[in-house]
Amino acid sequence: MDSITILQPDDWHAHLRDGESLKRTVPDLARQFNRVICMPNLVPPVKTVSEAQAYRERIMAHVPEGVNFDPRMVLYFTDHTVPDEVAKIKASNEVNAIKLYPAGATTNSDSGVSDIRKVYHVIEQLEEHQVPLLLHGEVTHNHVDIFDREKRFLDEVLTPLLRQFPNLKMVLEHITTADAANFVLEQGRNVAATITPQHLLFNRNDLLVGGVKPHFYCLPILKRQSHQTTLLEVATSGNPKFFLGTDSAPHAQSKKENACGCAGCYSAPYAIELYAQAFDQMGKIEKLEGFASHFGADFYGLARNTDTITLVRKPQTIAERMDYLPNDDIIPLHAGQTIDWSVVSGGS
Q: Is 247 a catalytic residue?
A: yes
Residue 115 burial (10 A CB sphere; 0-12, 13-18, 19+): exposed
CB burial of 39-49 (b: ≥16 within 10 Å; e: otherwise) equals: bbbbeebbbbb
List Cβ neighbours of 224 (8 Å cut-off, separation of 6 or more).
147, 203, 204
Contact call for residues 1 and 286 (beta carbons, < 8 A): yes
Judged by DSSP in three states, 59 sits in helix
Please report, in range form, the residues annotated as the binding site. 13, 15-17, 41, 99, 136, 174, 219, 247, 251, 263
Contact call for residues 73 and 60 (beta carbons, < 8 A): no
Q: Which of 247, 280, 298, 307 is catalytic?
A: 247
Query: Residue length, the chain?
Result: 348
Please report, in range form, the residues annotated as the binding site for Zn(2+). 13, 15, 99, 136, 174, 247
Contact call for residues 173 and 136 (beta carbons, < 8 A): yes
Separation in Å, CA 278 to CA 70, 217, 284: 26, 19, 9
Catalytic residues: 247
